[in-house]
Amino acid sequence: MIKHPAFIVEPWSVRECHLHTDVLAQTESVFALSNGHIGLRGNLDEGEPYGLPGTYLNSFYELRPLPYAEAGYGYPESGQTVVNVTNGKVIRLLVDDEPFDVRYGTLHSHERVLDLRAGTLIRKACWSSPTGAQVRVTSTRLVSFTHRAVAAVRYEVEPVDQPLNVVVQSELVANETVPPPTADPRAAAALEAPLVLEENVTARNNVCVMVHSTRASRLRVAAGMRHEIEGPDGTRVECDGGGNVSRVTIATRLVPGERLRLDKFFAYGWSAKRSRPAMHDQVVAALAAARLTGWDGLCAEQRAFLDDFWAGADVEVEGDAEVQQAVRFGLFHLLQAGARLERRPIPGKGLTGSGYDGHAFWDTESFVLTVATYTYPRAAADALTWRASILPLAQARAEQLGLAGAAFPWRTINGEECSGYWPAGTAAFHVNADIAAAVTRYVDATEDTDFERDIGLPLLVSTARLWCALGHHDAEGLYRIDGVTGPDEYSAIADNNVFTNLMAQRNLRAAAATAVRHLDRAERLGVTLEETAMWRDCAAAISLPYDERLGVHEQSEGFTGHAVWDFAGTTPEQYPLLLHFPYFDLYRKQVVKQADLVLAMHLCGEAFTPEQKARNFAYYEALTVRDSSLSSCTQAVLAAEVGQLDLAYAYLGEAALMDLRDLEHNTRDGVHMASLAGAWIALVGGFGGMRARDGRLRFAPRLPSGITRLTFRVRYRGRLLRVDITQDGTTYRLLHGPPLTLSHHGEELTLGAQPQARRNAPPPFPDLRVKQPPGREPAPRRPGDLSRDLIGPAEEPAEEL
């Protein structure tokens, strides 16, 4: 865990002013760079020391066996684990024959800066070797948003006070040694030397190419590097390679005032089908394009790409500098995860680490794509197109389970289920409805009818068919969905989980309505009028358990009759509970890992009255332990909706600072994509009160006392809207697009000829008494307590459109 103030608080960057080797792995995740295709952990340039080395390509994985004490029908036979591919980040430095290693000699200064507007990681170090030779080293690293296959580093060395002999070794390294796995099941399974060498070629012009393949998954990966070198006369360059290493060595003598500059371009590609020569040529071509653009061109393109993104996605927070930094940090990482997906998934850790084996979960559709839809919709379309591409595998899985339609995997890389634990895996069928909800959200926000017809409809139809196969009408005519697991993984194999049923209801209705809009396409999918009528009937009769005695909805049927967990007898060291108690005990008690029924009230709010929301929220607050990073943002949204603004503010801080403070002690395995999305969701959906459905944006803004101003931008149906909330009122401004009608606390407003409107908020709700399990209260936000020496210099705000 990061126990010291690792990062300076600044509005547009994450800055580390001192190197703390005890948290290298955590900072490697925070400083990771990606574009959705390539992911580079923030390892030091020289490769050592490291916490967890990592270079990843989206969906490049190796198969591994899933051992079972006792096998069962339908259990997945193998798992998939993301592979640490060929490392192109390594640049070693020797000064008068002494290797630059921060563990030796004297490190006079060391700074790393993740620049959220430039899209670069900058490192500056001043170091003396054990013999007293002193150098300054500056490196700038980027993963290009505009060149999908390309990453680059500018590396500069200069002597401080005396002439020095300097040698720089730029390398490609495969099959790096990785640390052994931990006992935490959330960490990745370690794979030893997963890559088999097929080719290692060193060519002219300092170009090296290596091609490898995996043993079991039979995927092929190519990596290449090319260099531009500036140094004094007499600088010598040599290339060599063998086995799993390719190397370009630059040797020179520098006097004070001179410098050696190396621009390193490296490129990647992978395929399950393409030949070795084709993969070789692919990376050579990518390197040629990168060299044509040049280092300055790559940086300019990177900045322009981010300027366009921030113009439509930025969130401004006044009154809390930490949250301001954190929400931009989160948006930056979400963009990195989805910018160049091109029909690939967004894993739970993005491409920042090997946590969860690199798998994608329902987190993507329910949290990450919520943000992407209104800030960078291309990523949402790409991620859902990937879901459509694995539809045949989901249909085959449903058939294996004796069901109609599609059963999408709980966790996967290539589309096949690789969760070896049924109750928290396959039984969580709500992933189907989460995908359907993401489809309808994207179509509602973009009016992309081509996507709806070609991608959305097949997904909606196949998922709707699953609910009709999974559920049944009981003697009273209610439609029941039994034996499933909702979002709360501490309650498994339950009957009529309210979240699942409400999301299935939406899925069924959306499938029926979309089929009517695209009759020809629906007919080709075998949809009939009788089938759409059945979908509507099932949706209308959906069962929603309600405890009349307590006046609250049951998370699932019978839940409120279970014994309440012994919270008073549980010590802080025993959280998360799944690591210290058997699942069978968790399953039969009232204890909630993460927001479940509360998430239902967020995503399906129209199914509950305001009074029901308040009672439900208070009841489940006392049971929710937040052993999942997915929970805080949802609790923030509902806390704000029921008038608990300070509580919502506390939950916002927890979601926003999950990785910058390593709150769950596992940031070393990669950042938490859903929690990073949660910072935006808590601010925009919570304090902005934004809901979007059926072509209409609705807002119910209210701010906690700790935030004096909140401004955000959303893209919706060809418009760009800016919402500016203060303690005195809210201003809506249409920045781009045709007239827009929205609602403010139920009052309808139209922005068009008058592009701006200002409204006040109604009086706050009556106070609601809520409590959390003992010891699980969120830490209250006290931004005023932030030490002055952690606040960085103010920066100019992003330019307005």
Residues annotated within a binding site for substrate: 362-363, 593-594
437 and 505 in contact (C-beta within 8 Å)? no
**φ, ψ at 113 (rounded to 5°):** -135, 120
Structure tokens at 612: 């029901």
Reduced 3-state DSSP string for 163-220: CEEEEEEEEEECCCCCCCCCCCCCCCCCCCCCEEEEEEEEECCCEEEEEEEECCCCCE
Q: Minimal CA–CA distance to 683: which of 710, 654, 706?
A: 710
Alpha carbon of 385 to those of 398, 499, 666: distances in Å?
20, 25, 30
Q: Quick check: bond before 49 cis, omega within 30?
A: yes
Structure tokens at 8: 């300076």
The DSSP output letter for 35 is: -
Q: Minimal CA–CA distance to 286: which of 425, 149, 86?
A: 149
**What is the three-class DSSP state of 569?**
coil
**What is the three-class DSSP state of 590?**
strand
Residue with tokens 């930490």: 322
- CB within 8 A of 139, min separation 6: which ones? 45, 91, 122, 123, 153, 154, 155, 156
25 and 659 in contact (C-beta within 8 Å)? no
Q: Count, in order, helices (H) and strands (E) of the chain.
A: 19, 35
Kind of pairing between the strands at 91-95 and 164-173: antiparallel
Reduced 3-state DSSP string for 708-777: CEEEEEEEECCEEEEEEEECCCEEEEEEECCCEEEEECCEEEEECCCCEEEECCCCCCCCCCCCCCCCCC
**φ, ψ at 455 (rounded to 5°):** -110, -50
Structure tokens at 266: 């490296």
Structure tokens at 553: 């909805």
> 98, 416, 417, 489: which one is catalytic?
489
Q: Minimal CA–CA distance to 732: which of 747, 718, 686?
A: 747
499 and 518 in contact (C-beta within 8 Å)? no
**What is the three-class DSSP state of 664?**
coil
Measure CA of the first residue to CA of the last residue in the chain; give whole Å: 40
The alpha-helical segments, DSSP class H, found in 448-545 are 449-451, 457-470, 498-517, 519-524, 529-540
What gap in Å lies between CA 617 and CA 629, rounded to an integer?
Answer: 18
Q: What angle do CA 145, 147, 150 make, to 5 degrees?
A: 100
- CB within 8 A of 256, min separation 6: which ones? 158, 159, 160, 161, 162, 163
The DSSP output letter for 581 is: S
- CB within 8 A of 608, min separation 6: which ones? 553, 601, 616
In the annotation, is 800 catalytic? no
The alpha-helical segments, DSSP class H, found in 518-672 are 519-524, 529-540, 583-587, 597-603, 610-621, 631-641, 645-656
- CB within 8 A of 304, min separation 6: which ones? none
> Which residues are annotated as catalytic?
489
